[in-house]
Amino acid sequence: MSASSAPAQPRRFVAKGALTGRIRVPGDKSISHRSIMLGALAVGETRVTGLLEGEDVLATAAAMRAMGATIERQADGDWLVAGVGVGGLLQPAGALDMGNSGTSTRLLLGLVASHAITAAFIGDASLSKRPMGRVITPLGQMGATFTTYPGGRLPLIITGAETPVPITYRLPVASAQVKSAVLLAGLNTPGATTVIEPVPTRDHSERMLRGFGADLSVETDAEGARVISLSGQPELRPQAITVPGDPSSAAFFVVAALIVPGSDLLIENVGLNPTRAALFDVLRLMGGQITEVNQREVGGEPVADLHVRASALHGITVDPAVVPAMVDEFPVLFVAAALAEGRTVTSGLEELRVKESDRITAMRVALTLAGARVEETADGMIIDGSGGRLLAGTGNGAVATHLDHRIAMAMAVAGLASETGVTVDDTRPIATSFPLFERLLADTGAA
Ligand code: S3P
């Protein structure tokens, strides 16, 4: 059941004990979305092992089914995707329900933009507040037309271009979703579609497009920007994909193990693509003991097991250049900083205000309630840590998560380092990205 239709599930998270043993986090959300989408555009059958079975990815799968692909879970847990071929998407009979998922919405708008079909996109209250203008602008230049709610928001209707036009598009915001939307639209566009990326963002789309046999080049221009060019209308070849564990999910367990005294935890199979893994470097700079063992490659992505031990953290100034490589990890970094010795300063976080919630304000309010000393700035947060002492909030009232899975999980972690515990007003959104989060937390002995 999606977060918007079930009753809210408040939950209290309290300190219990150290995190120990070994756990495995679920598949990477970004890679899972892309494996379904590209599998659905290949000719033949793609097998996906380790797909994240979270609500966001299931929304992508449902939409691709509604546009003609056959997508089935096998008894062994693998997923089989039988594609329609580039250019073969069918007009969906009803509205495509994106639930809470911005990635599904923006990437699928890209796919539809170069098919001569009309599709309606709807989503939950959180998604309906998020800006879509950032993809509407380039996709409109390629020939798609849109009718949106005021402010360029969902619900919206897109009609794809009958004769799509290739463009060269320079990203005005560092966004892998916008980059991917344009590249995916380029798949069914004749000629070369080019995206110029001044600041590198996660490169899963590029890696996977190549894996499926698309002709894609990446160069660096005189100013150091990445220039990504895709030749349109390739025949995509079906693949066998193994999805590595999601570093953005591992992040909650890494921080929990660092801040709960006595913890010693092995987190297996964590994707460490350099465009995703900056949190672990930042935590090491703060004194976190995180070592990578059994380094290997899975599905064309670097992977390792992370061995994490409880550590005395100290505050730092986080270089804004690393923001794109840990854009989803700031809520839980703020929690680590709240337990560190001294001051942590973050900046360059404007994009956090347009995620599933305004993550700067939501975390400022939540951490203040939990007893942390934090100050919100226009583009970041300043945190004066407790120096390892348990957070001492009043224990009254529940943290508002605003339908944001990462606020819920970050504050659950804060609860493990709190005298009075932290009550999260609604844990349902966690199922969008990490359905077994609470069970895994219990498995480590921490909750
Ligand atoms: C994602 C890109 C990021 C990230 C999101 C997933 C992706 O969004 O926050 O969780 O899979 O491409 P932006 O492109 O808005 O930065």
Three-state SS sequence of 342-377: CEEECCCCHHHHHCCCCHHHHHHHHHHHCCCEEEEE
- 284-299 burial, b if ≥16 CB within 10 A, otherwise e? eebebbbeeeeeeebb
Ligand 1 centre to CA of 172 (Å) is 15
Pocket residue to mutate for ligand 1, from 60, 195, 327, most atoms within 8 A of Cβ: 327
Distance between CA atoms of residues 80 and 146, nearest Å: 32
CA-nearest of 295, 287, 332 to 314 is 287
**Claim to verify: residue 136 and residue 116 sit in the same structural domain:** yes
In a domain, 113, yes or no: yes
Ligand 1 centre to CA of 131 (Å) is 13
**Claim to verify: residue 104 and residue 118 sit in the same structural domain:** yes
Q: Residues with Cβ < 8 Å from 21, sequence gap 6 or more?
A: 265, 266, 443, 444, 445
Note whether 190 and 216 are within 8 A (CB).
no
**Other Cβ atoms closer than 10 A to 215:** 12
Mean pLDDT of the chain: 97
Of 204, 232, 260, the position where a domain reaches its end is 232
In a domain, 5, yes or no: no
Task: Give the residue, by CA position, lying nearest to ligand 1 atom 16.
Answer: 175
CA-nearest of 87, 31, 71 to 235 is 87
Of 232, 255, 290, the position where a domain reaches its end is 232
Ligand 1 centre to CA of 103 (Å) is 6
**Claim to verify: residue 95 and residue 23 sit in the same structural domain:** no
The per-residue pLDDT string of the chain (447 residues; one tens digit each, 9 = 90 and over) reads 344 567 999 999 999 999 999 999 999 999 999 999 999 999 999 999 999 999 999 999 999 999 999 999 999 999 999 999 999 999 999 999 999 999 999 999 999 999 999 999 999 999 999 999 999 999 999 999 999 999 999 999 999 999 999 999 999 999 999 999 999 999 999 999 999 999 999 999 999 999 999 999 999 999 999 999 999 999 999 999 999 999 999 999 999 999 999 999 999 999 999 999 999 999 999 999 999 999 999 888 999 999 999 999 999 999 999 999 999 999 999 999 999 999 999 999 999 999 999 999 999 999 999 999 999 999 999 999 999 999 999 888 999 999 999 999 999 999 999 999 999 999 999 999 999 999 999 999 988
Tokens 């980059």 locate to 179
Largest CA distance in the chain: 62
Secondary element (H or E) of residue 280: helix 278-285
**Claim to verify: residue 361 and residue 385 sit in the same structural domain:** yes
Distance between CA atoms of residues 430 and 427, nearest Å: 6
Give how many domains the chain has, as a whole number.
2
Q: How far is CA 206 from CA 38, 215, 412, in A?
A: 11, 10, 34
**Claim to verify: residue 187 and residue 204 sit in the same structural domain:** yes
Task: Give the residue, by CA position, lying nearest to ligand 1 atom 15.
Answer: 175
Distance between CA atoms of residues 370 and 384, nearest Å: 14
Please tell me whether residue 422 adopts helix, strand or coil conformation: strand
Pocket residue to mutate for ligand 1, from 30, 52, 322, most atoms within 8 A of Cβ: 30
Q: Which atom of ligand 1 is nearest to the CA of 248?
A: 10
Catalytic residue among 97, 124, 328, 358: 328
Ligand 1 centre to CA of 379 (Å) is 18
Sheet harboring 192-197: ordered strands across?
Answer: 168-170, 192-197, 226-231, 216-220
In a domain, 387, yes or no: yes
Q: Which atom of ligand 1 is nearest to the CA of 180?
A: 12
Ligand 1 centre to CA of 75 (Å) is 31
Secondary element (H or E) of residue 182: helix 176-187
Beta-sheet pairing, 70-73 with 79-82: antiparallel
Structure tokens at 12: 């209290």
328 catalytic residue (yes or no): yes
**Claim to verify: residue 194 and residue 325 sit in the same structural domain:** no
pLDDT in tens, 201-230: 999 999 999 999 999 999 999 999 999 999
**Claim to verify: residue 184 and residue 214 sit in the same structural domain:** yes
Length of the chain: 447
Secondary element (H or E) of residue 149: strand 145-149
Ligand 1 centre to CA of 284 (Å) is 24
Note whether 201 and 275 are within 8 A (CB).
yes
**Claim to verify: residue 306 and residue 168 sit in the same structural domain:** no
Q: Give the pLDDT score at 3.
A: 46
**Claim to verify: residue 227 and residue 272 sit in the same structural domain:** no
Please tell me whether residue 152 adopts helix, strand or coil conformation: coil
In a domain, 371, yes or no: yes
Ligand 1 centre to CA of 17 (Å) is 33
CA-nearest of 391, 8, 45, 411 to 241 is 45
Q: Which atom of ligand 1 is nearest to the CA of 354?
A: 15
Q: Which atom of ligand 1 is nearest to the CA of 34?
A: 11
Structure tokens at 440: 């895994």
Which residues have CB under 6 Å of ligand 1? 30, 103, 175-177, 180, 202, 327-328, 351
**Claim to verify: residue 33 and residue 86 sit in the same structural domain:** yes
pTM of the shown model: 0.98
Pocket residue to mutate for ligand 1, from 129, 177, 207, most atoms within 8 A of Cβ: 177
Pocket residue to mutate for ligand 1, from 106, 182, 202, most atoms within 8 A of Cβ: 202
Note whether 65 and 95 are within 8 A (CB).
no
**Claim to verify: residue 282 and residue 330 sit in the same structural domain:** yes
CATH number of the domain encompassing residue 101: 3.65.10.10
Q: Which atom of ligand 1 is nearest to the CA of 178?
A: 14
In a domain, 3, yes or no: no
In a domain, 414, yes or no: yes
In a domain, 4, yes or no: no
**Claim to verify: residue 151 and residue 15 sit in the same structural domain:** no
Domain that holds residue 216: 29-232
In a domain, 139, yes or no: yes
Please tell me whether residue 196 adopts helix, strand or coil conformation: strand
Of 205, 232, 259, the position where a domain reaches its end is 232
